[in-house]
Structure 1
């Protein structure tokens, strides 16, 4: 199961192997129609004990344009060490497979996306030698899909849109459109999209909104996430009931304590005072009355300031 935004941002391309090809308009690139897409091993470790692992690696095969490799990296923040790693990935894959190799970086915030898109060279300015400039997908170029009909046309793209726009002011409309689009989708197709979206949103406020939409709009699904949300809702309801019961019990106990102190001191408690005390549900007020009941000359005196 996907367990973090990092995983969701690249594994969605494994789930839908042709998603990258459908980004041609978004990226404004003459991408080929992949006749076939294959997930390749993502372990780039050499014989020496240094582990190098690209997030997702695909081979895209086109009848017209031949094959190419696509290395996909999810990047959550700026990391000065990453360009060197990306250069290693591309050169290693190019050497190992002998195929044109492209690098796609998926980001959730504009600053990281702009940083990742800058060309970085391995050598000095006068001898750049090896340059790396990834294709970047992020909130700056992914479509904002707020129309359920448009979301239904490409659920994987709509989910990726939601993930990359997790911090966008329009995220509520984006998620609402996606949940509406999923209402008429078979459960086996909807479940992965529900899960990718939930995990891709991480702990942002958007995740709480998505979980609510899943619980309400998609309540008929029995996915792991839907069941988890329902159990959380039931637990919250039980906790609220316990809290309400505890508060009610404390209030009733405080009212009884006020009356008991007055009676033990031999003071007459008129019916109207008794009714005011037993009918009060404010713990602070009851606490003040209890303090006064210890020294008040009459029962009425504890209500003097009320």
Structure 2
């Protein structure tokens, strides 16, 4: 059964088909023909063969009504010899169906799998060798600009998944939250869950703090399990009562989630603070601090 990470990565392309062209022309440097439209096509490829084959996703570029390029999108999370044998079938079947050039774009979440997927596939017929176009973590750009993330939230998700230990990790996660604010709640929750599950612990705590303190309403089941139903709802209510009060509520939620003891004096200091910049500074410290003193002093 496909994992949540697998399904979420496919959904990036279903939700934004142009992501495929951006990866082809950007990290991979592959030229593509001029086109006027792009749409998601059927991933079912049983046309010419008795056994049904289904690609993760297919996008087609059109000039007018004529297809000029079809791209098979495959998400591969681990080596699987059977999938490599199916990829040539996907391309030849799609080529017969569309009548236009076709490409195979494989997206991997880890470098080892990306290296494995990039190996040429020798079919046996002289000169017929398929070399998959593979995008792994090392080819995904680090998106640190909130404006860029807002324009392309799906690329921001790939960036956060690929660069959890990057020196600019905090900027990458800030940009991701900005990107999540621009899309519908269901997709934002799905993408956030997958990123949180994949990040190292320190980065995960930092992202949780950002999501609680931002304008993004974190509605996913993961947040409700992690923070507790009542606490998550309390955070949302705090935001509606004022930014400073919401920031204070968010900080206390992060402290509780990390198991950091908060004295009555420290709690009063937090809830009585009206300086949102100071509260945001405390929240950032709370993602890695060992004690309340490390945060407030």
| TM-score of Structure 1 vs Structure 2, range by shorter chain | 0.5 to 0.7
Shift in Å, 1:145 = 1.6
Answer yes or no: is the 8 Å Cα contact 1:176–1:213 preserved in 2.
no
The answer to which of 150-159 and 71-80 deviates more is 150-159
Seen in structure 2, the aligned counterparts of structure 1 residues 56 and 201 have a Cα distance that, compared at 3 Å, is farther
Structure 2 gap ranges (5+): 232-255, 260-297
TM-score, normalised via structure 1 length: 0.63
Shift in Å, 1:22 = 2.3
Answer yes or no: is the 8 Å Cα contact 2:196–2:207 preserved in 1.
no
TM-score, normalised via structure 2 length: 0.64
Answering whether residue 127 of structure 2 is matched by residue 138 of structure 1, we say no
Partner of 2:213 in structure 1? 217
Shift in Å, 1:97 = 2.4
Q: Deviations over 1:29-72 (max 9, x none)?
A: 22245421222221223687633111011111136995211110
Seen in structure 2, the aligned counterparts of structure 1 residues 67 and 21 have a Cα distance that, compared at 3 Å, is same
Shift in Å, 1:170 = 5.6
The answer to which of 19-28 and 162-171 deviates more is 162-171
1 or 2 for the larger relative contact order (CA 8 Å, sep ≥6)?
A: 1
Runs of 4 or more consecutive aligned structure 1 residues displaced over 6 Å after TM superposition: none
Seen in structure 2, the aligned counterparts of structure 1 residues 154 and 38 have a Cα distance that, compared at 3 Å, is closer
Shift in Å, 1:224 = 3.4
Shift in Å, 1:4 = 1.0
What is the distance in 1 between the residues matched to 2:195 and 2:211?
Answer: 18
Shift in Å, 1:220 = 4.9
Shift in Å, 1:180 = 4.0
Seen in structure 2, the aligned counterparts of structure 1 residues 111 and 3 have a Cα distance that, compared at 3 Å, is closer
Shift in Å, 1:93 = 1.1
Answer yes or no: is the 8 Å Cα contact 2:189–2:219 preserved in 1.
no
What is the distance in 2 between the residues matched to 1:154 and 1:179?
Answer: 12
- Report the count of equivalent residues: 231
Partner of 1:72 in structure 2? 73
Partner of 1:103 in structure 2? 104
Partner of 2:283 in structure 1? none
What is the distance in 1 between the residues matched to 2:211 and 2:222?
Answer: 9
Shift in Å, 1:6 = 0.8
Partner of 1:155 in structure 2? 153
Seen in structure 2, the aligned counterparts of structure 1 residues 91 and 65 have a Cα distance that, compared at 3 Å, is same
Seen in structure 2, the aligned counterparts of structure 1 residues 210 and 11 have a Cα distance that, compared at 3 Å, is farther
The answer to which of 99-108 and 147-156 deviates more is 147-156
Seen in structure 2, the aligned counterparts of structure 1 residues 228 and 75 have a Cα distance that, compared at 3 Å, is closer
Greater gyration radius: 1
Partner of 2:175 in structure 1? 177
Structure 1 gap ranges (5+): 245-306
Seen in structure 2, the aligned counterparts of structure 1 residues 231 and 79 have a Cα distance that, compared at 3 Å, is closer
Partner of 1:20 in structure 2? 20
